[in-house]
Structure 1
Amino acid sequence: MIGGSERIAVIGGGIAGLATAALLARDGHRVTLLEASSVVGGRAGTWSRDGFRFDTGPSWYLMPEVFEHFFRLFGTSAERQLELTKLDPGYRVYADGYADAIDIRSTRAENVALFESVEPGAGAALERYLDSAASTYDIARRRFLYTNFDGVRGFASPEVLRGAARLTGLLTTPLDRFAARAVHDRRLQQVLGYPAVFLGSAPSMTPAMYHLMSHMDLEQGVFYPQGGFSRLIEAIASIASEAGVEIVCNARVEQIEITGESEPSVTGVRFVEASGAVRRVPAHRVVSAADLHHTETELLPPHARTYPERWWDRRTSGPGAVLAMLGVRGEVPGLAHHTLFFTEDWRENFGRIFGANPSVPDPASFYVCMPSATDASVAPPGDSNLFVLVPVPADVSIGRGGEDGRGDRLVEAAADRAIARIAEVAGEPDLASRIVVRRTVGPADFAADLNSWRGGALGPAHTLRQSAFLRGSNRSRRVRGLLYAGGSSVPGVGLPMCLISAENVVKRVRGDRTSGPLPEPEPGAPVAPAAPPASTGSKTRVPR
């Protein structure tokens, strides 16, 4: 145990909340996690109907060392917790204006050969690009991700100082321009630029620093946990429970309770059960892994807000999304496990999402996941499971989705256009008639179900002024004992970043000002003792 035992309440049972609670309990604290839904998982949820099972959120398993590190902190491993499959191809790309798809392979050497086959000289350019990406990623992981930016120590390290000019250039150059310097073929530029979407941004808005993400998909490869991403949530929820966390579902938090006007401190959390009964959890600290905008503007009084509405007025949201979960009779030729569809005019596409007069793009770039290509458990034998994501503006007026075409007009129309494009690529004009399960989700659903700021699908975009220490802090400047975790806080969006945010909260509680991951226990060494689980009448539920 590090320091004394405290009573800590964690708001939100997504991956960040579960991981934060588990790590705090591992340190000996008495932790209660409150989740508004009937199941834990948050954005990493699941939905089933008629033998088809869908992940409703994250579907790319990248940065495997971050997951492995988290599991090792608890004396286990990804190999013991998950059955991971490395995808080959990692993903397929269809670019408007080109007849043939490009398959991104599972190794660096194969992708270098692919780039060279598309554009003479692009193979050597990719080698240089990936060398830079790997170096930048290594520095970021050791100096800029697992840190709370409490001092200049990480910035003043010799390796950072030696590379200051290069890092400054990467921060001030847009990713799309950086990629265009490496290759000329539009499809290859799009392959190097699309990771910006994972960051809730556009290639023209994202610093070239994030070219480090190409190290992940083009060199490390893309993985999939058999059973879907709910299997990952089950593993982390189990670890949290075994560490002593009390997990309470159907607990909608209404207020972070504080005392004091000039120097307020947290005293607990008030929540409402499914029955309507109001309960309270006393706490020395509160960690909100809920949406940061919701936490600050709905759960705190005005005088206690570090990030009031005027702060958000100057911020850029990541995109919203139209999701379509489709159960299809038979196979869908032409699709890989992950397939990306890119429009020809990317600037127009992203301009419709992030510009001054946003609207649903048409035509739109979009993404399709077909896990039935890899996992037989997600669809009836011989049938296909499709998860479609169309990036749209973060705008609740676009509306909500529904089952069997009963969602709002703009949501269903965006899904219909994506289905038509898939049918064209697959050479299956009857594809729409073979859809026997259909559910859509729109930005208004993200706002209603996840309290997402403006209905965004991810969180604040990773623009220059919303990255690293400029993104904000995981500690309230107004309320003593209030901390934040999750994709809308630091270091950013995505499952690996949420795990890192959990570790950074633990560092904050410990008073640990170091950069880099927490030390892992030696193999075979006992894990730090857990607090005894508190009694609860509620059962933990995970998505299945």
Structure 2
Amino acid sequence: MTKTIAILGSGFSSLAASCYLAQQGNQVTIYEKNPTIGGRARQFKKDGFTFDMGPSWYWMPDVFERFFQDFNKKPSDYYELIKLNPAYRVYFGINDFISICDNLEDIKSAFEAIEKGSAVKLQKFIDQAKSNYDIAIKDLVYRPGVSPLELVTPQTALKLNQFFSSVSADIRKEFKNEKLIQILEFPVLFLGAKPTKTPSFYNFMNYADFGLGTWHPKTGMHDVVKAMEKLALELGVTIKTNSPVERIIVENKSAIGILINGEIIKADIIVSGADYQHTETLLEKEHRAYSEKYWESRVFAPSSLLFFVGFNKKIENISHHALFFDVDFNQHAADIYDNPKWPKEPLFYANFPSKTDTTAAPDGMESGFFLIPLAPGIEDTPALRFLYFEKIIARFEQLTQQSIKNNIIFKESFCKNDFVTDYNAYKGNAYGMANTLLQTAFLRPKLKSKKVRNLYFTGQLTVPGPGVPPALISGKLTAELIQKSLRS
């Protein structure tokens, strides 16, 4: 029987859920509070420059392929992918950087040149990471987090010890050079926690990095949003922007509709891809499954200070993706997770999409995206944003041996306060809830409300976790739970 389904938000998980639910034959409408769709993956354009506002790394291409395959499509039906070489570059000092190439053999050679014997160790490490990837990404993450038994398989039983050790501990057993250690610890930062707090099993992220490579949709990550929007519309989904949901209406412990701009819109089922904590504030207190105390006790992934910068010249000595690890990695991590404060000397990431995509900037110019990870809930002021831009640009100029500050046409910033305003993000988090041992699978907030019938959730604060590929999977899991409930 066809059901009327209202979806809150238009990020990756909402778009994915809408496609699956429409494919099931339901009447699906997405309601987005902002003027454009994509959630954190919105696009920003100014003076001929184009920027992805959020996700900029295209990893785990197989997850995207599996998503489109579910609709007898493939990514290439909608967008072109370019494999980046180098995938990224990591800067440790002046004329001191390591380029991560697009294949494991070249990466092993780079490691061996720095630490003798590390090539063999890296192959062994990546082989184990691939084994974990095959278990996690091809199987476990496609389970809805309903029961702890979902994690019990013959394969995971053999890897039980990996849930009680950390990624950092395992890496440091094998590698001694601090630069190589930081490169290997970097991928798990996408999961939102310190490498010392991330279970060893999550080293599958290293296979995603070195094994599968770093890709770029031809004109940016928003290509994926546009592809999913097109697919959703082809399946009959309706998308309404400028539609902030003010309240979820509950009668007899069942969600029956939403309130938007003072108008009640009835629905048989409601799915929220908006921030989970915010969504529950749209309910009366007795209908909320998680208290403020619960949210306060969770480990959240970082917020970020972002800068979108237009340059009137081409930038030299830089790759599409670049990480600046020329300061204390562990101190910055402590400033995020242990003693939240603005880091004195921040690590930062720079992304120059115009190195790959000629449409990202006018001819002869460059578009630059800079990101500093920060503790969620931190103070955010114009003065602090200015100070930290000055810090990172000075270091960027020094490390890449060039002057660029006087070539800035414009810069726009986006930080904790904007994450709260634009996305209703809890404490202004950028990546959701961290995937620590006690926040994995069935220990994460549930896809299905425990207190309100016909109310479901999807996205980075629920199962399976943060990141774009998990968001696609989350949408599928929620749609499957709804389909199962409709059959029963």
TM range (shorter): over 0.9
Q: Deviations over 1:178-203 (max 9, x none)?
A: 21112111111011101122112221
2:282 is aligned to 299
Kept in 2, the 8 Å contact 1:396–1:447? The answer is: no
1:209 is aligned to 201
1:275 is aligned to none
Question: SS state of the match for residue 204, structure 1?
Answer: helix
Q: Where does structure 1 differ by over 4 angstroms across 4 or more consecutive aligned residues?
A: none
1:136 is aligned to 132
Distance 1:454 1:211 in 2: 28
Kept in 1, the 8 Å contact 2:67–2:472? The answer is: yes
Question: SS state of the match for residue 251, structure 1?
Answer: coil
Equivalences for 1:263-278 in 2 at 5 Å? 264-272=253-261, 278=262
Question: SS state of the match for residue 424, structure 1?
Answer: helix
Equivalences for 1:422-441 in 2 at 5 Å? 422-429=396-403, 431-441=404-414
Question: Are residue 118 (structure 1) and residue 110 (structure 2) matched?
Answer: no
Scaled by the length of structure 2, what TM-score is found? 0.97
1:495 is aligned to 468
Kept in 1, the 8 Å contact 2:348–2:370? The answer is: yes
* One of 443, 458, 478 as aligned partner of 2:451: 478
Kept in 2, the 8 Å contact 1:322–1:415? The answer is: no
Question: Are residue 374 (structure 1) and residue 353 (structure 2) matched?
Answer: no
Once superposed, what is the RMSD of the aligned Cα atoms?
1.4
Distance 1:394 1:144 in 2: 29
Distance 2:264 2:29 in 1: 11
Mark the CA change 1:153 to 1:353 in structure 2 (over 3 Å): closer, same or farther. closer
Shift of 1:151: 4.5
Question: Are residue 18 (structure 1) and residue 15 (structure 2) matched?
Answer: yes
Question: Are residue 394 (structure 1) and residue 376 (structure 2) matched?
Answer: yes
* One of 270, 282, 289 as aligned partner of 2:273: 289
Kept in 2, the 8 Å contact 1:19–1:502? The answer is: yes
Letter in 2 for 1:312: W
Kept in 1, the 8 Å contact 2:254–2:452? The answer is: yes
Equivalences for 1:65-104 in 2 at 5 Å? 65-96=62-93, 99-104=95-100
Distance 1:371 1:311 in 2: 39
Question: Are residue 342 (structure 1) and residue 325 (structure 2) matched?
Answer: yes
Kept in 1, the 8 Å contact 2:145–2:463? The answer is: no
Distance 1:192 1:469 in 2: 27
Shift of 1:155: 3.6
Kept in 2, the 8 Å contact 1:349–1:363? The answer is: yes
Shift of 1:344: 4.1
* One of 249, 252, 260 as aligned partner of 2:241: 249
Which stretches in structure 1 are left out of the alignment for 5+ residues? 273-277, 400-407, 513-544
Q: Deviations over 1:456-489 (max 9, x none)?
A: 1111122221122212211110111111111121
Q: Number of residue pairs matched?
A: 485
Q: Deviations over 1:142-187 (max 9, x none)?
A: 33200113346644433333x1xx3x32222222222111211111
Question: Are residue 412 (structure 1) and residue 386 (structure 2) matched?
Answer: yes
Distance 2:50 2:16 in 1: 25
Shift of 1:396: 4.8
Question: SS state of the match for residue 139, structure 2?
Answer: helix
Distance 1:366 1:509 in 2: 41
Q: Deviations over 1:498-519 (max 9, x none)?
A: 000001011111229xxxxxxx
Percent identity (aligned)? 33
* One of 171, 174, 177 as aligned partner of 2:163: 171
1:57 is aligned to 54
* One of 370, 379, 395 as aligned partner of 1:421: 395
1:529 is aligned to none
2:263 is aligned to 279
Kept in 2, the 8 Å contact 1:412–1:440? The answer is: no
Kept in 2, the 8 Å contact 1:324–1:389? The answer is: yes
Which stretch has the larger CA shift, 374-383 or 176-185? 176-185
Mark the CA change 1:447 to 1:151 in structure 2 (over 3 Å): closer, same or farther. closer
Shift of 1:371: 0.7
Question: SS state of the match for residue 9, structure 1?
Answer: strand
1:159 is aligned to 155
Kept in 1, the 8 Å contact 2:187–2:209? The answer is: no
Kept in 1, the 8 Å contact 2:327–2:346? The answer is: no
2:172 is aligned to 180
Distance 2:148 2:310 in 1: 52
Kept in 1, the 8 Å contact 2:197–2:436? The answer is: yes
Distance 1:412 1:307 in 2: 37
Question: SS state of the match for residue 363, structure 1?
Answer: coil
Distance 1:208 1:150 in 2: 23
Shift of 1:230: 1.4
Distance 1:335 1:447 in 2: 32
Kept in 2, the 8 Å contact 1:17–1:485? The answer is: yes
